[in-house]
Structure 1
């Protein structure tokens, strides 16, 4: 028997985060009930808590947060789709959908204009997330873990897929010089993916000691502390073939542009605030840089799980803290402090 409610993390408004009972929704025939084991606190979760919005997505009603989750199937889909009971799974949180008028490439469903994402206020009614002990989820979202991969080790599959997608947007990596601006969780994971892909040099830039240490632990060959004038000036001397901008700040994007070699490519995965941003576009023009966006991911979570299982993708150092869901507010406060934490996991 499954409980009718279980503890969940619900944001009611900016600054109002609560751990409260969340009803277990009756599953449709193509939905399963998953007992969530771990959930990673993402930057978007922090934005909903701190600001009541994440980019253009504005909170209009209470919403269960969370899209970086792994767990075990407790009740499989009644129609036979998806994995059987007791299967450990990672969750792909996207539901692609077109709107009938906006054009986008069919092979890039992450760009579908009417799609939804777990724990997103982009549409109303909002799409509840999965920071809840028992979650009812479409069976198509569930990805069985490879044999031998523990749930705790798979907890970074979703953000690692975001990083994997971003590095995929870079193009050829092997033997090339790479620069990662912003060594928070996504930046650090991008470093790990670049290292696995055979980048010859990987320079990571940040403004805190902890992210730089994590970046070194997952494969950065050099780190620069942008608080130090000499290191900030050294960014332009990197002359990277490929750059991943993961800070989500205008200053970080400016550094990414300046740190790219002429004819290089800058992939922007850090989500900047809505509206116009002051960026040295003239340099991008005169250096013929390619500025490329990277948004979420498509099917990269499969290769990520395989790489986690065979040990070729080193992500363990990215997780710095694990907090019980009952202490979620403390966990969110910890995750917001980039000087003391990288990825914070909630344990359900």
Structure 2
């Protein structure tokens, strides 16, 4: 019997234990395609796994291949793909969606009925599917390997064709952009998906993504906490959707300077605020004027007041994207929100918040919105990265001049600036170490590291 071909993979066995290993390359199963992976971006969750062997509550229980921000080229079709997905063919360049929900299907491919129907997959919220398996995540076991390998077999319906004008590294950004498209829909400032992949009707698709009938960012002021890659994409997308102003908060002056210099923040006045780190000797005693108020709340109020003064936005912001997961920023976001604002929780940092200003949020009707991964976003993401717009004519007409339309033409080019470093697969460990340091040997900031073939 001839030996099976192999594919080299970067396999994580434990904290900082990343090994290059050959993996047997089987023929794609029915409904799958075989892919040559061309570009994979490293994200924060990958880094957590690399450094600690876990990401929050999810710890690796067997060797795991990381990577889920990917693009590649189709090299083989499994049985049935040519008939069921005639738009896919060998040689096609694709962006790869890495979440595999049950799609409300039985193991034999038949549709579930009655009480067995997956309500999340049936209502365009397949990111919440209880049986979803996500490549490179240790949430489920056995784990499903990610994309840091030369070739891989993957479900055909999760492959999204990309134009020749879009580079593989740009196409890999469809994944983090999807995170923000989903969060923006949840926050009510982005239109619903134009081509829902699993929804039974367009109406169910639209209602599941927004908490209001309004899906326009026009006239709204947006604040983003954290200007790593995800936060910078949040800024760029808010601008693309027509927000009146976009500002950002971070603890890193260099990243804030990058955000301002490259046009990720915009609007009249100062658009960035560097949050001061708390002093090691800072008092933890209660506030003398309000003994029952925890110190963390007092500090959050104080920092929010300083930020709003710098931004000259005394009434606060309409929508806040919290991309850090840090307790201090979560608390501060409540006090930076205007009446009736929405706070989209995107960062996956602190699992618990010791104190929370619940009365301030409730009496001012501030909505806290959870946002987890994405569903039905890839078509729009690829279109945006390819130079198209999801910005409606109605939204455009609300701008008093053409300044926004001139800026939005550079959305894809702006996001391409996030890719600061590139490495081949055989140097994946070096790439992770660079991402962990946050600066390269020349002192340059590290935003998005790509592993490329």
Determine which of 401, 409, 415 is the counterpart of 1:315.
Answer: 415
Cα–Cα, structure 1 residues 277 and 59, in superposed 2: closer, same or farther, change >3 Å?
A: farther
Q: CA deviation at 1:147?
A: 4.7
**SS in structure 2 at match of 1:315:** helix
Residue of structure 2 in register with 1:324 after alignment: 424
> Is contact 2:421-2:448 (8 Å) kept?
yes
1:45-87 Cα distance to aligned partner (Å, 9 max, x none): 1111122222222210001111111011111233214410110
Give the secondary structure class of the aligned counterpart of 2:234. helix
Structure whose alpha-carbon radius of gyration is higher? 2
How does the TM-score come out when normalised to structure 2? Answer: 0.72
Counterpart in 2 of 1:179?
223
More deviation, 47-56/137-146: 47-56
Measure the CA separation in 2 of the matches of 1:218 and 1:77.
44
Matched, 1:219 2:268: no
Tell me if the contact between 2:304 and 2:335 (Cα under 8 Å) persists in the aligned partners: no
TM-score normalised by length of structure 1: 0.92
- Residues 1:286 and 1:236: Cα distance change in structure 2 (over 3 Å): farther
Structure 2: 5+ residue runs without aligned partners? 105-114, 189-215, 279-301, 389-408, 440-444
Q: Where in structure 1 are there 5+ consecutive unaligned residues?
A: none
User: What is the deviation of 1:218?
Assistant: 4.6
Per-residue deviation, 1:7: 2.2
The alignment yields a C-alpha RMSD, in angstroms, of 2.4
Q: Larger % of strand: which? A: 1
Q: Work out the number of aligned pairs and report it.
A: 347
**After superposition, where does 1:1-348 map in structure 2 within 5 Å?**
4-79=5-80, 80=82, 81-82=84-85, 83-97=88-102, 100=116, 104=120, 106-171=123-188, 172-216=216-260, 217-221=262-266, 222-227=271-276, 233-237=305-309, 238=313, 239-310=316-387, 312=409, 313=411, 314-338=414-438, 340-348=445-453
User: In the TM superposition, what is the alpha-carbon distance from 1:101 to its structure 2 partner?
Assistant: 9.4
Q: Matched residue of 1:262: which SS? A: strand
Alpha carbons 1:165, 1:296 under 8 Å: kept: yes
Q: What is the rounded CA distance, in whole Å, between the counterparts of 2:381 and 2:375 in structure 1?
A: 12
Contact 1:226 / 1:232 at 8 angstroms: preserved in 2?
no
1:188–1:218 Cα contact (<8 Å) kept: no
Aligned residue for 2:386, secondary structure, equals: helix
Distance in 2 (CA, whole Å) between partners of 1:67 and 1:36 is: 11
**Following TM superposition, by how much is the alpha carbon of 1:179 offset from its aligned partner in structure 2, in angstroms?**
0.1
